[in-house]
């Protein structure tokens, strides 16, 4: 399966072609940038570096991404495009009949996400939105424990998803970044926790109350970006939930991710950073795991493509998260609970 790459070195957009290329069926064939790319997100990188990136893959560089899409030997695109431009590029990818992998968030706003969902449905292609948290071994086991009734009926689901160690090297928050991405760290990281909780509960968020702020970084405050956010959630099936998400000054690298679940007959805690699950029900169990969630996610997507099966994480999942994030921003601005009607 030939892989094309559209977008190189865009801030906050992961290079999923690196993981795709680990699959024995995949090879990177072509690389391109796209027009109108934001200087705030490209951060000094240029076409020369994109060409060098193509050479590192022994792939062909295309000045026009549409030439990449016209290639018969490109079957799937690693779409690393800033969220504000993703709808335009995704529509072109779909029109060319190519499958694609899209980093989170799906788009910068709900209308953009709706455009992508419509384009994918019209073209009949498969897409993967990269909510790799679903593939943490401990978090998957937690979901299985809930489904099996090991803590009784689930009543409360709380997820802390923080990035420690401060902003990535060289990053400075700007208003343009906020507009191109669709928000700050609530949009950036909150979507992981939301996707997992909706997947865990098998239910959509019914209403949300959110609070956001710039607690740690002056450049965030000046640009109108939040570095920390809290969401209180009620799901359609009655489960109560909460998400705390953001980027902190904690002097450590990596994620601080903890899932706490309370049921009618027990409780469960999952520390995703160490891949450890603790289950307190009829007895007590503590189990450690080791896995590569990103690779497991990508490999399942590729295997499904080759076998004609649907994607494990769809653009509809991405749109559902966009709707909750948008409602959370409205709640934070108004100070009120915001309800999500069907499709709203």
Backbone φ and ψ for 330, nearest 5 degrees, come out as -65, -40
Of 48, 16, 325, 24, the C-alpha closest to 190 is 325
Contacts 24+ apart (CB under 8 A), 120-123: 120/90, 120/94, 120/315, 122/94, 123/94, 123/95, 123/97
Rg (CA), the chain: 20
Q: What pLDDT sits at residue 210?
A: 98
Alpha carbons 191 and 246: distance in angstroms, whole number:
11
133-291+314-339 classified as CATH 1.10.150.20: no
| Residue pair 255/271 in contact by the 8 Å Cβ criterion | no
Pinpoint the residues of the chain covered by CATH 3.40.50.720.
2-125
What pLDDT score was predicted for residue 208? 98
Q: Which 3 state secondary structure label does DSSP give 32?
A: strand
- Give the pLDDT of residue 190: 94
Residues 6+ apart with CB under 8 A from 43: 9, 11, 170, 171
Q: Convert the pLDDT of each residue in 35-88 to its tens digit.
A: 888 776 776 577 888 899 999 999 999 999 999 999 999 999 999 889 999 999
pLDDT at position 253, please? Answer: 67
pTM (two decimals): 0.91
> Which residues in the chain show pLDDT less than 70?
11-12, 40, 43-44, 253, 272-276, 284, 288-290, 342-344
> Which CATH number does 2-125 carry?
3.40.50.720
* Digit-coded pLDDT (tens) for 197-241: 999 999 999 999 999 999 999 999 999 999 999 999 999 999 999
Q: Where in the chain is the domain with CATH 3.30.360.10?
A: 133-291+314-339
How far is 258 from 274, CA to CA, in rounded Å?
10
Which pLDDT score, from 0 to 100, does residue 44 have? 58
Please state, in angstroms and rounded to a whole number, the distance separating the CA atoms of residues 15 and 13: 7
């Amino acid at each position: 399966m030939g892989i094309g790459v559209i977008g190189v070195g865009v801030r906050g957009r992961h290079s999923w072609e690196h993981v795709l290329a680990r699959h024995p069926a995949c090879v990177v064939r072509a690389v391109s940038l796209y027009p109108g790319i934001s200087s705030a997100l490209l951060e000094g990188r240029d076409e020369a570096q994109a060409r060098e990136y193509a050479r590192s893959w022994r792939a062909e560089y295309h000045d026009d991404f549409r030439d990449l899409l016209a290639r018969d030997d490109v079957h799937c695109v690693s779409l690393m495009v800033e969220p504000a431009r993703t709808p335009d590029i995704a529509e072109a990818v779909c029109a060319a009949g190519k499958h694609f992998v899209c980093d989170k968030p799906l788009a910068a706003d709900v209308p953009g996400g709706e455009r992508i969902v419509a384009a994918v449905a019209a073209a009949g292609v498969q897409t993967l939105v990269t909510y790799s948290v679903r593939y943490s071994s401990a978090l998957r086991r937690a979901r299985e424990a809930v489904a099996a009734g090991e803590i009784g009926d689930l009543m409360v689901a709380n997820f802390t998803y923080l990035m420690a160690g401060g902003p990535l090297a060289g990053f400075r928050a700007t208003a343009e970044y906020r507009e191109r991405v669709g928000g700050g760290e609530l949009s950036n990281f909150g979507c992981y926790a939301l996707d997992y909780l909706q997947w865990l509960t098998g239910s959509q968020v019914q209403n949300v109350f959110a609070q956001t702020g710039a607690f740690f970084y002056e450049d965030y405050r000046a640009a109108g970006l939040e570095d920390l956010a809290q969401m209180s959630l009620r799901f359609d099936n009655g489960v109560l939930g909460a998400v705390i998400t953001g980027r902190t000054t904690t002097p450590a690298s990596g994620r601080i991710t903890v899932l706490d679940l309370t049921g009618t007959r027990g409780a469960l805690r999952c520390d995703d950073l160490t891949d450890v699950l603790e289950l307190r029900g009829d007895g007590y169990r503590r189990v450690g795991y080791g896995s590569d969630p990103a690779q497991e996610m990508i490999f399942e997507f590729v295997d499904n493509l080759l076998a004609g099966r649907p994607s494990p994480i769809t653009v509809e999942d991405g749109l559902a998260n966009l709707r909750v994030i948008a409602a959370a921003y409205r709640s934070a601005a108004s100070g009120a609970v915001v309800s999500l009607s069907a499709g709203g």
